[in-house]
Amino acid sequence: MRLSIVIILLFFINHIGNTSVWNICPSCQLKSLEEALDRAEPMDTIRVQKGLYECVDIEINKPVVIIGDEGAVIDGLEKGYVLKILSDSVTISGLKIINAGKSYTKDFAAIYVYRANHFTLSNLEIINPFFGILLEKSKNGNVHHNKVYGVSQREDDSGNGIHLWHCSNVIIEQNEVYGLRDGIYLEFVDDSKVMNNYTHDNIRYGLHFMFSNRDEYVENIFENNGAGVAVMFSKFILMKENTFTHNWGTASYGLLLKEIYDAEVIDNSFTENTIGIFIDGSTRINYTENLFEQNGWAVKVSGGCYTNKFFKNNFIGNSFDISYNAKMNDNTFDGNYWSDYTGYDLDKDGIGDVPYRPVKLFSYIVNKTPETIILLRSLFVDIINFSEKVSPVFTPDNLIDNQPSTFIFQ
Amino acid sequence: MMLKVLKYSFSDLIRSRWSYVYLAFYLVLGFVLLFLNENLSKAVITLMNIVVVLTPMIGTIFGIMYFYNSREFTELLLAQPIRRRTIFLGQYLGVALSLSLSLILGLGIPFTIYGITQSGQIWDFATLLISGTFLTFIFSGLSIYIGLLNSNKIKGFGYAILIWLFFAVIYDGIFLISLIVFDDYPLDKFTLFASFFNPIDLSRIMILLKLDISALLGYTGALFQKFFGTGQGLIVAFIMLLLWVAGPMLLMVKKSTKKDF
């Protein structure tokens, strides 16, 4: 009796001290991930060697590390979820996942994480999934260096690349997502970071925020998506050093802010978007040191935006710098560089002596009658813009940059 | 024979001071723009504003001026056994070609030196020069026609300037106001249609499309984007400009055969 206890104890100590590695490959003793998962003890490592493995709805219920060799491919047979992570401390990396299921009623995902803590998903390649990585009610995870892509055409039958719902403290970095509905989607996600990702050519948004507070996204590139980034109904968001580019199309924009409070938009670059930033009902937001270049509209302000501050931004070569649809203004635009500024600086202090009016009469007209855009850059339009500049009648008369910079901010 | 008249008019104009002034103006403009901008695509945008307004104006003024100044030469030619069509077409082409040459050389030289041929903007720039040339042809044709209609120089000048002013400014004003007034109706077809009847608007839109703000135009509705966003729109605009060149030319020929000198 005593001996058996000692043996059992020894067995456990052995297992705590050094975890074992389970190899699976088509010619090994273990041929599938399921078998390996059955045998593995918590904290073990499963090494998936080169080969094709069929996996449908596989549940990972214990903390394990799954590492794929190069050429390790998981095939979901288009039947449902592929891997479901239901335990804390699971790490998955290096796998290539194909043929995840599609459904109109269920959110099938290549990798599904539910109520898990301390997970790491890295170096995965997920090809043509419904949802790529779906995280629900999970915390303290890390999703990095993954590549998720598809060939979606329509919004209604495609899912999102990396989708988070009710999560917190998740770090998403260095991922590439393209050809899906939304590149990265966060809903009810707090205190998380989205960094250095590259999302492009998605049908809807590159990055989509809903009801998520105290998050930051930094140094991401959003290119050629239906719209770059939509941030809605969120508070205390930091948006820094991102690039929004080539979001062209009917009413498409680089960044949409809807019902956002107390956010910081710093050092981003908006180039060649139909609308650089579209602001609707957003309050107490600071826009500093951003670059707006060659956009249709650099900033389009809709109703209900109060105490927003634009400072030290560069507005270069946009068709319209600022567009307003109302006569009231509670936002400040002091101290920016405007390439359309024609004033002078006699005392050479780098601040123009004549205030600049960023809202042109023509942008007001285009707001009311969109078809008039056909007259863009015509001589008549220049003339009416000039007369409005001299004596404003239609545009908010307190919308002025009192200290326009005469040099481009670096 | 027409070629001979053309050659005389052309060499006459080429030797005149104003051609050189015009050429020098574009040369200076090109170099200054590039010196200030360094950015070819931005220089092209700035240039568009100038070309679209200036080339029609210069075409108009030059055309009417040349027509009145060379009246004696014209009368001499009329006394010869030459067809009237030949005389006036020759003169017209002489004016239009020398002006176009000034434009193309004046802008082409600085932009080539700054390396437009190696940049991605070469087609934008080419569109700019092509529409500038079209505008020169259209407006010098119109002004010579006006010259044929009016023997009174002051009247002729007045009408010619008015024609330019109409297409450059007044037309757009009426256009804009009618768009605003009839705001409640679907306007996209009307807009498309109306922009075809003004060569200045047409060339402006052609250049704008090249400058990658076609998506901006797309903002107004599917029809615009469908039409202007594709090659089809460009071809139709091109054909329309050709018609605009042919129109004044035909009027000119018709008038010249009937006119009592």
Structure confidence by residue, pLDDT tens digits, B226-251: 676 667 777 888 899 999 999 999 99
Q: Is the pLDDT of residue B224 over 70?
A: no
Q: What's the whole-number average pLDDT of chain A? A: 88
In this predicted structure, what is the pLDDT of residue B236?
A: 84
CB pairs under 8 A between A and B: 86
Cβ atoms within 10 Å of A281's Cβ, excluding its own: 16
The reply to whether residue B191 touches residue A249, judged by beta carbons under 8 angstroms, is no
In this predicted structure, what is the pLDDT of residue A14?
A: 52
Among A345-359, B34-48, B68-82, the least confident range:
B34-48
The Cα of B250 is separated from the nearest Cα of chain A by a number of Å equal to 29
In this predicted structure, what is the pLDDT of residue A134?
A: 94
Mutate to test the interface with B, among A246, A271, A371, A381 (most CBs of B within 10 A): A371
Beta bridge partners of A162: A133, A184
The reply to whether residue A370 touches residue B220, judged by beta carbons under 8 angstroms, is yes
Q: Does B215 touch chain A (CB under 8 A)?
A: yes
For the stretch B42-97, pLDDT in tens is 777 778 888 888 999 999 998 999 899 888 888 888 888 888 888 888 888 888 99
Contact criterion met (CB below 8 Å) for A202 and A223: no
**Per-residue pLDDT band at A299 (split at 50, 70, 90):** very high
Q: Is the pLDDT of residue A173 over 70?
A: yes
Residue pointed to by tokens 């359309």: A340
**Alpha-carbon distance B180 to B192, whole Å?**
15
Of A248, A274, A379, the CB nearest to B169: A379
Q: Which of A94, A29, A38 is nearest to A61 (CA)?
A: A38
Q: Which two tokens stand for residue A114?
A: 């539910």
Q: Is the pLDDT of residue B225 over 70?
A: no
Residue B232's contacts (CB-CB under 8 Å, 6 or more residues apart) are none
Q: Which two tokens stand for residue B56?
A: 């029609």
Among A251-260, A329-338, B206-215, the least confident range:
B206-215
- Vertex B55 angle, CA B50 and B59, to 5°: 160
Pick the more confident residue, A294 or B3. Answer: A294
In this predicted structure, what is the pLDDT of residue A247?
A: 83
In this predicted structure, what is the pLDDT of residue B168?
A: 92
A286 φ, ψ (degrees, to nearest 5): -105, 130
**Alpha-carbon distance A325 to A103, whole Å?**
42
The residue-averaged pLDDT of A25-54 equals: 89
The Cα of A251 is separated from the nearest Cα of chain B by a number of Å equal to 6
Residue A168's contacts (CB-CB under 8 Å, 6 or more residues apart) are A139, A140, A189, A190, A191, A192
Q: Does A296 touch chain B (CB under 8 A)?
A: yes
Q: Where does residue B66 fall: left (phi above 0), alpha (psi -120 to 50 degrees), or beta otherwise?
A: alpha
**Per-residue pLDDT band at A104 (split at 50, 70, 90):** confident
In this predicted structure, what is the pLDDT of residue A228?
A: 86
Contact criterion met (CB below 8 Å) for A276 and A295: yes
**Alpha-carbon distance B143 to B67, whole Å?**
9
Among A6-10, B182-186, B205-209, B234-238, the least confident range:
A6-10
In this predicted structure, what is the pLDDT of residue B231?
A: 73
The reply to whether residue A250 touches residue B53, judged by beta carbons under 8 angstroms, is no
Q: Is the pLDDT of residue B143 over 80?
A: yes
Beta bridge partners of A253: A275
Contact criterion met (CB below 8 Å) for A304 and A284: no
Q: Is the pLDDT of residue B105 over 60?
A: yes
Q: Is the pLDDT of residue A5 over 70?
A: no
User: SS3 of A13, please?
Assistant: helix
The reply to whether residue B216 touches residue A250, judged by beta carbons under 8 angstroms, is no
Cβ atoms within 10 Å of B151's Cβ, excluding its own: 13
The pairing of beta strand A21-24 with beta strand A198-200 = unpaired
The reply to whether residue A380 touches residue B219, judged by beta carbons under 8 angstroms, is no
The reply to whether residue B42 touches residue A317, judged by beta carbons under 8 angstroms, is yes
User: SS3 of A349, please?
Assistant: coil
Rg (chain B; Cα; Å): 20
Residue B134's contacts (CB-CB under 8 Å, 6 or more residues apart) are B199, B203, B241, B244, B245
For the stretch A62-83, pLDDT in tens is 999 999 999 899 998 888 899 9
In this predicted structure, what is the pLDDT of residue B104?
A: 93
Q: Look up residue A107 and give its DSSP letter.
A: -
ipTM of predicted assembly, 2 dp: 0.84
User: SS3 of A198, please?
Assistant: strand
Q: Is the pLDDT of residue A159 over 80?
A: yes
Q: Look up residue A398 and give its DSSP letter.
A: T
Half-sphere exposure of A273 (CA within 13 A, CB side): 32
Q: Which two tokens stand for residue A355?
A: 């205030």
User: SS3 of B247, please?
Assistant: helix
In this predicted structure, what is the pLDDT of residue B230?
A: 67
Q: Is the pLDDT of residue A326 over 80?
A: no
Residue numbers of B between 141 and 180 with CB closer than 8 Å to A: 168-170, 172-173, 175-176, 179-180
**Per-residue pLDDT band at A155 (split at 50, 70, 90):** confident
Q: Does B183 touch chain A (CB under 8 A)?
A: yes
The residue-averaged pLDDT of A182-199 equals: 94
For the stretch B113-138, pLDDT in tens is 887 777 777 888 888 899 999 999 99
DSSP string, A119-155: -EEES-EEES-SEEEEEES-BS-EEES-EEE-----S
Cβ atoms within 10 Å of A193's Cβ, excluding its own: 16
Q: Which whole-number Å values give the CA distances from A108 to A57, A78, A103, A121, in the listed order?
A: 10, 10, 7, 17
Of B48, B176, B222, the CB nearest to A380: B176
Q: Which chain A residue's Cα is nearest to B218?
A: A250
Contact criterion met (CB below 8 Å) for B192 and B184: no
